[in-house]
Each structure stands twice: as structure tokens, then as C-alpha cells.
Amino acid sequence: MSSLVSLVRNESYAPDALRQSIEQALALIRQPLRQLIRPGDRVLVKPYLRHGSVRQPETRMVSHPAVVEAVLGLVCDCGGRPQLGDEGSRRPGHPQLHHEALWLHLLAERFGAELVSFAMSGGRVVPSAIPQPASYLLSRAVLDADSVISLVNAQPHPSLMWSGALKNMFNTIIGAGNTQLSALLPDAAELAGAVADVCRLARPRISVADMTSVCPGFKQELWRVGLLGASTDPVALDSACLQALGWEPGTIPSLRWGARLGVGTWQREAITLRGLDWQDLPVLTPPSPTASPEPPEPRLARTLRILSKTRLRPRPRIDRRRCTACTTCQQACPVQAISRDTSGRLQIDYGRCADCLVCADACHQQAIQLRPHGWMAALQAPRTLAHRLWQRGKAGHVWRIGGLAVRWHLERSHPVHPPRPAQPRPHDQESAPVSPSLQNAREESGVALIVDAGPGLGSALARRFALAGMDVAVVARDGRRLDGLVAELHALGVAARAYACDVTDDGAVSRMVGQVCGELGVPRLAVYNVEHFGPGHVVDIETAAFLECWRVNCLGAFLVGREVAKAMLTRASGTLIFTGSTAATRGREGYANMAVGKWGQRALTQCMARELGPKGIHVAHVILDGGILKQNAPAFMQERMLGLFPEQIADNYLALHRQHPSTWTQELDLRPWMEKF
């Protein structure tokens, strides 16, 4: 008997048109949801949420929210009880709601759907049909549902060559099963067998494939395919999607395994296509996918890799100092691996533990963390001791002697690499010829100092100031990486020098500013463009990490601003600009390190503006409320201006420098048009 597959046209994610396309695709395979779902049935909607952000869902790294919304609405209209979940919708070990998953929670709340976690729903061990592994621990949320609707994100996969209906069910393995299988089965063909086997065990009732757009790879142009497919046979659906791209399905290992295990069929003659005819395919003919050849792995390396992912992998351990024996973790464990020992203390049975970290999520005391286990812990004891001593050393210690106090602490040093010696040039080649139009555009003179001239905004500032006719001094910790930028500035006909400096070192900053003044002249324009961000929640941030962020963001701004202001006061003129960020105006979860330093930098600029303004020095603070687009950003991001263009930021900095003293701007807020205020 042939497998029914439908492929219908779908050019947009408009709600009404998308819902109509899904209903049409299901009707063509004779599977309308009203006939499949009875009132009260538990219907699990399984999207693909493993990787990627939903800020730009058109990048196709996750299931499009509009597709999830349309299917949830159809399930509710049929009287079913929708459940929504994927192991990628939760972050093990992080019970806090991640902002990237907020849309999923809001969507579930809107339709009254139960948001399930595969791990927290418990698991059931089921035997496999392939040599390795012998069994899987699959989520009960999938196995016990009355119906499962798989929302397929059809797109190429770097190792399996294709991520479609078969691959979408692989996340039903809970715990460490995914990572262990990747280690045990490094060959793509073997791993494809496990992918097909898991789909056989957790087979969805219906699979809906979204091919409105297909992402061929990270930061690559999207393929506008404009199709939406559906089938009860996941192998046949993947085969039709591949043929719609002009690819040969027989070259995909997961499809061959799926046919071998009886999951479905991939041959065209065994598939009945509805909606579109085979002669209408392919609608797109990109290069066919090919598996990247991998060199043979040495036996010792393979053994060590398998051991590191199995026997020697870190396991959840209970910290006796923090544990209050509240049994919350015992009640939450989906595989009942936590019990009390003879002394009444909680212990973990590692023979049953699935490494799902549900217990760590449930523990309010944060008493369960991943740690080495058994003899591996004994081998790593010296390293653990050294790490603890290092942590204590970074926090420091204070000895009080009468009215005096002696403090010491250890600090990791970051090397400062001086720039390479400049190559002497003949006098007649000191400056490159400049076109008349460029010469007319040069209205400025003097020296511009840019602290942290990186490949993004810093380089754009240097180029813009050079085009305006200013000599440029660029500063970075690693001065050697500025060679290319200096050569580019020389080609624009201006003098340029590179300097290496640690902006948190008082003496180094003073020497750097002195060298700039001695070699090029007193800066007329200086930009502090340094930023340091160490992510972390308040309860997890180390003292040393907090201090490092503050030193770079705030102390460095003070040191550079102070020394440059001293030099500018000798001429009673100049412009000093500090690059800020959103963190300077509001604190967010996970940004405490950066927010404190940036708020301090903003306060510093306000004080400097009021003190130095009457003395002829313009001090400005620029808030960049959005991401800065890089030169290699995808074309669609540049077309839709999904970020700040560094060249346009540089234009605003130069405009600040050119302002008349009667209308000086102290703070400028720059944001892309799509940013939410």
C-alpha cells in the first residue's frame, strides 16, 4: 500500500492563509483533525525547539510560532486537550524562564495548552531494534499521549544531512541519551539508524512539514520554497520534501534506515503525492547534500571519547552542606532514582539516574550540581583543590593590624601585545593620492583617539574620522591586530598610529595618552569604545568577575577620560564620547555585571560634562540600544535593518563632535527601527 503525502503552496505566515494551507494539506491525505481527535483527547503538539532564537523566526532555526499557533487552534476547535512541549523548550539546570522561550509560554496560556517537559513527565525504557543502543529512555509525555502531531522544521542538517520528520522525534529521549548516542555512534549512518528507531517507537499520528522557507545553514541565504506538507508516514514526507528541493532521498541515511525498520517508504513509486504533481518538482535545485568525509578515528581516541560521555561523565551530586532533606528532588525525579539511605540522608542511585537534571531544577537550595563521580572524582581531587584555592585567592583576604589593613588577592593577567614596528615609507609615498571629491569632504583637522578599535564599530569610527581629514590613533590591548586598519587609514591619506594599552592600568593609560600627544598631537576627539560583559545571575557571580566588568566598563572610562581631559584642557577644546549600552539605563536578569559598570560610566559622563563643559570640552554619552550588525551579517538582516549599522553610528559620533557649544548633546540614544521602546 502506498503512502499518502500532500504538498501545498504556502508563501507566507499570515494566520488565516497558513491555517487554510494546513487544513488543505490534512484533507488531501484524508486525515482531517476532526476525524482523528475526539473531545477530551490529549494531543501532544511537538515543535522543533532544540536550537536557535525566535527573534527572527524566518531564519528557520526553530519551528515558526505561527505554525504552532495554527495547529493549537485546530486542536482546540476539535475539542482536544492540547499539550505543547519539546526538550528544547526547557534549559536543564536553569529553572528561570528564559526570554527566548517566553513566546512558547504565552502561546500555551492563550490556548489553554499544558506546557510539558519531556524529562519532568517521566520516562519509560523501551527496547531498540538496532545493535546499539539496546534500549532508550523515552518520555511518557509522548508515549502516553492519545495523539502526537509533529511540527517538522524541514532543513539540511550538518551531520545527518537532513533534519525532518524523522529527526524531530529524536528529542523524545530524555536525560543524557542524546549526547551519549552522539558519542557512541559517531558515524552519521549509525546515528541515523538511532534517529529512525526512535521515530518508530514514538511515531507521531501526523507530521506537518514547514517548507515556506528553508535555512541551508548558519548565516546563509534562505531558500524561498513556499511549500507546506503533511503525511502519516514520516519517511515519505521527508522523501517528498527532499525531492521538492531537487535532492535524491536515497542518499539520506535516516530515510534508508526508516524503510529498513518499517517506519515508512522513501521510493517515489511507493508514494502517492497529492496537491502537487511529481512533474512540478523540483521547485528548487540547490546543490545536493553530501556527507562530509571524516578521517578514521584512532581506537584510543574513540575509547576515551566514549568513556568521557558514559562512565566518566559528570553526574548530579547532592551537596550535603546545602541539602535540607526536604525530599523535593525525590518527588520530582521522573525515574525514582533518589531515595534515603540508612541514616536518613538523600542519595542518588546512579544505575537508574538518567541525568535529566530535573532534581537540580526542583531543588530550591541549589544543592544538586553536576560533579565528577566515583574514582574519577578522586583523580580530579588535586585539580578541584587547586580550583578552590584559586577561587579563594581571587576573592582576596584582608589582615587588619591595628588601624591598618593589608589586603591581597590573585588576579588573572591579560597580556598586552605592542603593535608591530611601523615600516618606514619614502617621503613621496607618505600619503596616498586622494580624489578631489574626497578632499572636499574633509572638513576636520586634528587627532582622533579611539580606544578599542575592534573590527566592528571601532574600525568604522576610525575610517569615518579619517575620511573627515583627522589623523587617527587606535588603541587595543593587542596592538598587532591593528596593522591592517592602520594600513587602510594610511591609504586614505592621514597619519595613523596603533597603541597597545590596558585601560584598567593607571600608569599604562597615562603613558598611552602621552605617546599620542607626543607623536600625533593633543586629541580633538576621543572615543572610549570598550565594553566587557560577563553573563551570570546575581547568586552565581564571582567577586572577581564582578570587579573585572566594573574595572573595564567604569574604571577604564574614568582613567581614559581623566588623562584625555588633562590634555584637552591645555587647548581648552575637544570632544570626549563614551559608548554606552542598554544596560546603562535598565538592569536585566543575567546582566548585573555589565549594568553596574555601564551605569557607573553613564554617571561619570554626566559629572564630566558638567565640570568640563564650561571649560570648552564637550562630553557625550551614546546609548546603543541594539545589536551592531557585522560586515558578514546575512543580507536579509541588512535589508530589514535588524540592527545598528556601524557606519551610521560613526556618522552620529562625528555629528556630536561638530555641534556648536550652544547646543551640545550630553546623551544620545541610538536604536534600530524595530527595537521596542
The 3-state DSSP class for residue 49 equals coil
Stated as kind and residue range, the H or E segment containing 177 is helix 177-184
Q: Summarize the confidence of residues 206-227 as an average pLDDT.
A: 80
**Residue 204 burial (CB count, 10 A):** 24
Residue 131, pLDDT > 90, answer no
Note the pLDDT of residue 544: 81
Q: Are strands 271-274 and 315-318 parallel, antiparallel or unpaired?
A: unpaired
Long-range contacts of 61-65 (CB under 8 A, 24+ apart): 61/153, 61/215, 62/88, 62/153, 63/151, 63/153, 63/210, 64/13, 64/210, 64/212, 65/103, 65/107
DSSP E strand stretches across 187-337: 206-211, 227-231, 271-274, 315-318
**Average pLDDT of every residue of the chain:** 84
The pLDDT tens digits of the residues spanning 502-534 come to: 999 999 999 999 999 999 999 999 999 998 887
The pLDDT tens digits of the residues spanning 295-312 come to: 677 888 778 777 777 777
Q: How confident is the model at residue 23 (pLDDT cuts 50, 70, 90)?
A: very high
637 φ, ψ to 5°? -70, -35
User: What span, in angstroms and rounded, lies between the C-alpha atoms of 378 and 372?
Assistant: 9
Query: If you search the block for the grid coordinates 576627539, which residue do you land on?
Result: 525
Note the pLDDT of residue 570: 93
Which position has the higher pLDDT, 122 or 489? 489
- What is the number of residues in the chain? 677
Residue 472, pLDDT > 80, answer yes
Domains of the chain are 3-280 (3.40.50.11440), 314-379 (3.30.70.20), 445-670 (3.40.50.720)
**Residue 445 burial (CB count, 10 A):** 11
Beta pairing partners, 497: 473
Q: Summarize the confidence of residues 51-57 as an average pLDDT.
A: 49
- Counting residues of the chain whose pLDDT is more than 70, the rounded percentage is 86
Three-point CA angle 144, 150, 151, nearest 5°: 145
Q: Are strands 3-9 and 271-274 parallel, antiparallel or unpaired?
A: parallel
The 3-state DSSP class for residue 363 equals coil
Q: Summarize the confidence of residues 420-433 as an average pLDDT.
A: 53
Q: How confident is the model at residue 53 (pLDDT cuts 50, 70, 90)?
A: very low
Which position has the higher pLDDT, 282 or 525? 525
- Kindly state the DSSP code that residue 58 receives in the 8-state scheme: G
Q: How confident is the model at residue 96 (pLDDT cuts 50, 70, 90)?
A: very low
Least confident of 14-18, 182-186, 320-324, 572-576: 182-186
> Would residue 366 be called left, alpha or beta, if left means φ above 0 and alpha means ψ between -120 and 50 degrees?
left
Residue 388, pLDDT > 50, answer yes
Note the pLDDT of residue 641: 66
CA distances from 450 to 459, 476, 567 (A): 9, 9, 15
Asked if 7 contacts 62 with a C-beta cutoff of 8 angstroms, the reply is no
Note the pLDDT of residue 160: 84
Check whether the bond before 287 is cis (ω within 30° of 0).
Answer: no
Asked if 230 contacts 259 with a C-beta cutoff of 8 angstroms, the reply is no
Q: Summarize the confidence of residues 578-587 as an average pLDDT.
A: 89
Which position has the higher pLDDT, 43 or 102? 43
Q: Are strands 3-9 and 227-231 parallel, antiparallel or unpaired?
A: antiparallel
Stated as kind and residue range, the H or E segment containing 600 is helix 592-612
Q: How confident is the model at residue 103 (pLDDT cuts 50, 70, 90)?
A: confident
Residue 430, pLDDT > 80, answer no
